[in-house]
Amino acid sequence: MESFAAEASFMLNAAGNAFVIMMEPTRLAFLSMGAFLGLILGILPGVGGLAGTAMLLPFTFSMDPYTAFAFLLGLGSTVATGDPIPAVLFGVPGGAASAATVLDGYPMAKRGEAGRALSAAYMSSLMGGVFGAALLAVSIPILRPAMLYIGSPELLAFAVFGISMVAVLSGRAPLRGLAAACFGIMMAMVGADPQSGTLRWTFDTAYLWEGLPLLPIVLGLFALPEMCDLMIARTAIAAGSNKMDIYKGQWQGVKDCFQHWWLIVRCSWIGGGIGSIPGISASVVDWLAYGHALRTEKGAAQTFGKGDVRGVIASESSNNAKEGGALVPTIAFGVPGSASMAILLGAFMMHGLVPGPDMLNKHLDITYSMVWSVALANLLGAGLCYAFSPQFARVALLRYTLICPAVLGIIYIGAFESSRNWGDLYTLLFFGLLGWIMKQFKWPRPPLILGLVLGDLIERYMFISVERYGIDWMTRPLVVILFALAIIGLVRPLLEDYRGQGGLRAILGSFGRARFEWGQLFTLFYLAVFSAMVIMSRGWQFNAKIVPLVVGGVALIAVVLSLLNQTFRKPAAAPASGTEISAADNAALLTGEKLPVNTGKIHMDIESDTAHLPLSTIIARAAMFFGYLLAFMGSTYLVGLIPTLFIFVVAFMRIEARERWTLVLSYAGFMVVFVTLVFDRIMKVPWPPSLLGEWMPALKVIPSL
């Protein structure tokens, strides 16, 4: 008891000292500067904390360690505060960890509640960030022993538990959700297999050797489809609402957060906890928190994905908390908890600090100064957001010709930032098209991301566990608990569905004559892709092909069942008397979504609001949209990315809406100056080489040529 008291007073002392140190004006100034930069980087989709931290690193050489970490963490902590802004306003996730925010934030903006959604996002970010830091602060003494308890089998179990969320994130389309998750896992396995070095599905390209990068996929799946639908609908984002009271909305958002404080606490613990496990990627914490809220919040199954503020709160409180969590393995073991933490580790080295026991002992004040930095930066970030928010929220009222050019341009650059390769742009385009079709035909997209991130971990840690422990690892207590939770999470929704549909006989009874729908072609496409991937993998070494074969097999079964279901299921009976058939339900019937509505579940994704348009118009405008994207890439290939940006902005605004020339030219000019300044001058992005630049090297004075 005495030693505990001594320990506690030692900690309090260090925490107090650290606070005094942090209050020094220069440090606060650098912290604020970092927080401000982080917000801006967060707002730009695809450009996240990683690029920013790398950029700031050289400036920290001459600082003392407290100031250096305040600067770097100031940036890292607020990126997640800036992320929801494009997610809410445009449906474009600002980073991989705020994709779940799109699901409810964007529908809220469409309803004219952008102000409320943003305000809830900031407040929950702030509270999540502070709770995350608090969790870190109190758990410091037990960090190392706790971490040493978590081995590869436990990591595997965590990943399996995470992937069991697929069941709840699939909504009322479990088979499609399962197939999408399997597709995500297969995509995660593209590249050199760590076990045997087999190059899986790389088609002899060096780009695919290290696997597909996450960010172009997230931007493709979630951002491009929203932009495409915006162009198809030809409206402003908040077209449906004619008046918007921003200040009232803001106040409402704050109230929402305090009303749901317990949800915030739980989600920030999820964020901080998952973020602190070394080896588990934190880029799915938003989905795990979202899935948790969906499971536990009252009535969530009916309203999530349709603009429920609790969805925004769950996602945003978790992703701000993860930064504090990610510090844990970095400080305690030198194992970076996230990509930007890897750079922070570089900063440790530069300041002569060695991660490990010393940081929790001799340098405890530095550790606490980091905790304070994270907490203070979250406060500053949320404050700045509130100050500028009214301006942001109005963006939702702008017409699409003003939104699309800038957002698409930044998405392209953001995607290119991930590995700075042409391949990123192809990946973006491919998943953009896939995402749009999935959205149209109501295939849930969240399971794909979950599979993509966790699939790699599951394969990795399964091999390590089996190789090292045989089957003994399965009896470890934490593994047993997590596996049990995963099974419950998987089986319960299935049983509910089964009962909801009236048992086996009722399900069989609902089958009828074969019918054809367009949606079946897409299912056939998946069938073909999975078959091709499985066939290609047959010749590989055992270690390289076992997981792809199993996952591919499960996927094929799911796709075939889904196809049978689409083909032979009678159209759903009218819902129980007294309920109206909504437009969305009608659209669902048209597109082949035929699970009876009385399971009480919803489609777990944003729905297209273009159903009122004739099919031919939708197809023509979508073709136009992807035509623009192709033209963008073609032009980048010819004359470089920045000149292309100018041409694209002018062409888009003139062709789509004959906007005034003065507006068009000043818009295009501003974009070019902004991108040149930020990406060429400050971040020194290596642009994709262009043909014109090859022919006439003298022209290379123009950036990106």
Q: Which region, judged by CB under 8 A, interacts with another protein, from 98-106, 382-390, 417-425, 433-441?
A: 417-425
Cβ proximity to another protein: between 325 and 500 the closer is 325
Asked if 689 interacts with another protein (CB under 8 A), we say: yes
Both tokens of 387, joined, read 């100050």
350 binds another protein (CB under 8 A): yes
Structure token pair of residue 485: 């939770």
Query: CB 358 → another protein: shortest distance, Å?
Result: 8
Number of residues located near another protein, criterion CB under 8 A: 56
Q: How far is the CB of 144 from another protein (least distance, A)?
A: 9
387 contacts: CB under 8 Å, gap ≥ 6:
none
**Cα gap 404→399, rounded to integer Å:** 9
Distance CA 261, CA 123 (A): 10
Tell me whether residue 487 or residue 691 sits nearer to another protein (CB atom).
Answer: 691
Taking the complex as a whole, the smallest distance from the CB of residue 456 to another protein amounts, in Å, to: 9
Residue 345 makes contact with another protein by CB under 8 A: yes
Question: Least distance (Å) from another protein to the CB of residue 344?
Answer: 8
Q: Is 346 in the site for another protein (CB under 8 A)?
A: yes
Using CB under 8 A as the binding rule, the residues of this chain from 6 to 35 that contact another protein are: none
The answer to whether 400 contacts another protein (rule: CB under 8 A) is: no
Of 218, 214, 641, whose CA–CA distance to 422 is shortest?
641
For residues 315 and 690, which CB has a smaller minimum distance to another protein in the complex? 690
Residues 375 and 22: beta-carbon distance below 8 Å? no
Report, in angstroms and rounded to the nearest whole number, the Rg of the chain calculated over CA atoms: 25
Q: Which two tokens stand for residue 563?
A: 């196809």
Residue 59 contacts another protein per CB under 8 A: no
Q: How far apart are CA 303 and CA 566, in angstroms?
A: 25
Query: Helix count (H) and strand count (E) of the chain?
Result: 32, 2
Q: Is 476 in the site for another protein (CB under 8 A)?
A: no
Which residues, at least 6 apart from 645, have a Cβ–Cβ distance to it below 8 Å? 409, 668, 671, 672, 675
Instruction: Kindly state the smallest distance separating residue 470's Cβ from another protein, in Å.
Output: 12
**352 contributes a contact to another protein by CB under 8 A:** yes
Nearer to another protein, 50 or 288 (CB): 50
Q: Which residue has the tokens 């607020």?
A: 78
- Of the residues 17, 241, 252, 419, which one makes contact with another protein according to CB under 8 A: 419
Backbone angles phi, psi at 191, to 5 degrees: 115, -175
Answer for which of 42, 355, 519, 548 binds another protein (CB under 8 A) is 355
Q: With beta carbons less than 8 A apart as the criterion, state whether 37 and 51 touch.
A: no
Helices (H), 111-223: 114-139, 143-149, 152-163, 166-169, 174-188, 214-218
Judged by CB under 8 A, which of 354, 506, 521, 620 binds another protein?
354
For another protein, the closer CB: 419 or 567: 419
Q: Which two structure tokens, joined as six digits, stand for 326?
A: 């990610």
323 and 275 in contact (C-beta within 8 Å)? yes
Q: How open is the CA angle 514-517-521, to the nearest 5 degrees?
A: 105
Q: Is 294 helix (H, G, I), strand (E, B) or coil?
A: helix
Per-residue binding letters, 187-226, with another protein (x by CB under 8 A): -----xxxxxxx-----x-xx-xx----------------
> Under 8 Å CB-to-CB from 623, ≥6 apart: which residues?
none
- Regarding 335 and contact with another protein (CB under 8 A), the answer is yes
Q: Which is nearer to another protein, 358 or 496 (CB)?
A: 358
Q: Which of 462, 495, 463 is nearest to 479 (CA)?
A: 462
The 10 Å Cβ neighbour count of residue 61 is 10
Contacting residue, 28, 40, 134, 342, with another protein by CB under 8 A: 342
C-alpha–C-alpha distance, residues 187 and 93, integer Å: 20
Minimum CB distance to another protein, residue 164 (Å): 22
- Asked if 343 touches another protein (CB under 8 A), the answer is yes
Please report, as residue ranges, which positions from 221 to 280 form the binding site for another protein (by CB under 8 A): 278-279
Under the binding rule (CB under 8 A), the answer on residue 464 touching another protein is: yes
Three-state SS across 314-332? HHHHHHHHHHHHHHHHHHH
When the beta carbons of 144 and 295 are compared against another protein, the nearer one is 144
Cα–Cα dist 45/260, whole Å: 28
Which residue carries 């081995």 as its tokens? 151
Q: Which of 303, 421, 520, 599 binds another protein (CB under 8 A)?
A: 421
Residue 333 touches another protein, criterion: CB under 8 A:
yes
Question: Which string of x and - marks every residue 159-188 that binds another protein (by CB under 8 A)?
Answer: ------------------------------
Binding track over 441-460 against another protein, x by CB under 8 A: ------------------xx
Q: Where on the chain is the footprint of another protein (CB under 8 A)? A: 50, 54, 57-58, 61, 147-149, 151-152, 192-198, 204, 206-207, 209-210, 278-279, 333-336, 339, 342-343, 345-346, 349-352, 354-358, 419-421, 459-461, 463-464, 467-468, 684, 686, 689, 697
